[in-house]
Chains A and B, each alone.
Chain A
Amino acid sequence: MKPGMFLRVALIALLLALVLKPGAFAPAFAPFAPENGPVIYTRSSLLSLSLSHLGLVAMASLAATIVAVTLAILVTRPAGAAFRPLSRTITNVGQTFPPVAVLALAVPALGFGAGPTLVALFLYGLLPIFENAMTGLSTLPASTMEAARGIGLSRWQRLWRVELPLALPVILGGIRLSVVIALGTATIGSTVAARTLGEVIIAGLLTSNTAFVLQGGLIVGLFAVLIHDALVQLEKYLAQRSGRG
C-alpha cells in the first residue's frame, strides 16, 4: 500500500509540474527538439488545453453512460429482452467504426470544433459501458432478486434499491474503460480544431519536433493512468460497501 501511495503522489506532482511549469522541463526535452527549434510548446497554455481535453472526455463519457446504462436497463427488463440483440449490434457498430471516420463524417454536419469530437468519443464509449451494465444487471444473486419481489418491492424500487446499487461496481468498470479510451482518442480531435492536448502532439508531428510529441503524450498518459487508478479505487470501495467485495 505504502509504495503505491508514494508512486501516486509522485505521478500527480509530475503531472502538475508538466502542466503548470512546462518551462522547467526544457533541459529534459531539449535532446528531442530540432536544432535551434522550440523545446517547450507555448502557443497555448497547457493548463487550458488540459482542462478543455478533460471537459470533452467528461461530457462525452457522461452522455455515453446515461445512454448505455438506460439501454442496458431497458433490455434487461422482461419486456425489453427482444431488443437485446439489436442494442448489442448498435453499440458494437459504435465501437468498430473508427473515430477518425466519425470525425470526417461529422464535420460537414457539425462544423469544425468540439462537436465532431464529442460525437466520436460518445459513440466509441458506448460499448464498454453497455456491456458491463448488461453483465452487472443480469448476474445479480437470484435469491436476492426473488426475495426483493417476494417482500413487496415494486419494479422501480427493485431497480433503484437493489439492482443498480448491486450492479454499480461492474458498471463503473465499464465507465473506467470508456473514459481511459476517450482520454487517448480525444487527441485526434485536434485534427478538426477541437481544443485538446492532441494540439501539442500534432504540432510536434507537423514540425518534426519529437519534444512536443513527448510532452503532449506524457501529459495525456499521466492523466489516463491517474484517472484509471482513481476509478479502480472507487470500484473497490463500492464493491466492499455493496457487500460483495
Chain B
Amino acid sequence: MIEIDRITKLYGQTRAVDAVSLTAETGTITAIVGTSGSGKTTLLRMINRLVEPSSGEVRINGEPTHAVKPHLLRRRIGYAIQGHGLFPHHTVARNIGAVPELLGWPKEKIAARVDELLTLFGMEPAEFRDRLPLELSGGQQQRVGVARALASRPDLLLMDEPFGALDPIIRTRAQEDLRAIQRKLGSTIMLVTHDMDEAIRLGDRIAVMDGGRLVQYGPPEEIVAAPATAFVADMVGDAERPMRLLSLIPVSDLVEPGTAEGAPLPAEATLREALSACLWTGREAVPVETEGAPAGRVTLAAIRARAERHA
C-alpha cells in the first residue's frame, strides 16, 4: 500500500504540488492525469525522492520513504519514463538487469530474469538480449524500458508518460500489454499521463491534478459519471462522456437471454464496442458469446438505458 500524506513541493512562490494526499492499494494501477504543468511529474518524483518534498511524507507499506537513503529507496521502486532512458552503451540484457545487478543478484538469476521478462514482452530472448538499444524499434525500446523497471520485482512501479513518444497504434498495444502484465504479476503502479483515454483504459483509480492540487480521486466510472469540478468535466470532455462510460462496462453486465443476427461479440467486450457494432451494421441487438459458446444478446435499447443511468 502506498500512502501519500499531505505532500507539498514549493519552487519559490510556485506550489508545484499542493498538499496532495492519496492512498493506492497494492496490486492496482493509479493513473495521475492532468494538463501540462499541473504537478504530475513532481508528485511522482517525490515518491522515489528524485524531488525532495517541502513538507508531507510518503509511506510504502507503512515505512516512510525518508527513512531510507534515496539511491537505496530507488532500487526498490521501478521507474520508467518517456523516451525510455535506456543506457545506449549497454545491451538489452544489461539494461534490463541493471537493478538486479545493483542489488547483487547472482549472474544466473539475472540472466534467467532477463529472459523471462523478454518473453513476457513478446521479444525472443536469443534474438534480442545482446542487441544495443539503437538496434531496436521505438516500441521495443519502450518495452525494454518497462522491463527494466520491473526486473527486480519492485514494491512499486512509477511511470511518467511511458507511452508518450509512441505512435497511436503501438501505444494502444503497449497499454494492453502493460495491463495484462500488471494483472499477471500483481504489480502496484503509479502512472502519469496527460491523456484521459489512457487514464481510463489503464487506471483502477484515477487521480486528477489541477494547478498542483488533487481535485478528484476515484474509480474511472466515478470520474466520468460525476466529475467533481468543471476542470475534471473538461478533462473528460462533454461529448465523450457517454462513450467513455460505456467503454468501462463489459457486455456481460447487460447480457440477456435470446438471439440476434450477425457476428457475435465476446463477453469481455465493452458496451462501447457493442454500440458501435449495432450502429455500424444497423442491428437492434448483437449476439454475445463466452469462449465461443452463445451466451445471449445485448440490445441497443439496453445500452441506451444504461447510458442514461450515469452509473
Q: A: which residues have CB within 8 A of B?
A: 141, 143-154, 157, 161-162, 165-166, 241-244
Contact = CB atoms under 8 A, between A and B. Distances in A.
B257 to A, nearest CB: 53
B96 to A, nearest CB: 11
A154 B71 contact: yes
Interface string B6-27: 0000000000000000000000
B179 to A, nearest CB: 23
Q: Is the interface of A mostly helix, strand, loop or mixed?
A: helix
Contacts of B89: 165-166, 241-244
Interface residues of B, number: 30
Contacts of B83: 143
B79 A147 contact: yes
Nearest to B78: A151
Point out which of B50, B71, B149 has the most chain A C-beta atoms below 10 A from its C-beta: B71
Interface in B97-137: 98-99, 102, 132-134
B202 interface: no
A243 B85 contact: no
Nearest to B134: A243
Contact of B85 (A147, A152, A161): A147
A150 B48 contact: yes
Nearest to A166: B89
A145 B84 CA distance: 11
A150 B85 contact: yes
Contacts of B73: 152
Contacts of A145: 85
B88 A151 contact: no
Q: Which 4 A-B pairs have the closest CB atoms?
A: A147-B85, A243-B88, A152-B74, A152-B75
Nearest to B76: A152
A143 B148 contact: no
A143 B50 CA distance: 13
A143 B87 contact: no
Contacts of B72: 152
A241 B135 CA distance: 12
Contacts of B99: 151-152
B88 A166 contact: yes
Nearest to A149: B50
A110 to B, nearest CB: 42
B132 A147 contact: no
Interface in B130-180: 132-134, 145, 148-149, 158
Given A149-B50, A165-B89, A242-B88, 15 more contacts: A141-B85, A143-B81, A146-B81, A147-B81, A149-B74, A150-B48, A150-B79, A150-B158, A151-B78, A152-B74, A152-B76, A152-B102, A243-B90, A243-B133, A244-B89
Nearest to A162: B87
B138 to A, nearest CB: 13
Nearest to A150: B79
B71 A152 contact: yes
Contact of A150 (B74, B82, B87): B74
A237 to B, nearest CB: 13
B86 interface: yes
B98 A244 contact: no
Contact of A146 (B78, B85, B98, B149): B85
Contacts of A146: 50, 81, 85
Given A150-B48, A243-B132, A144 B71 contact: no
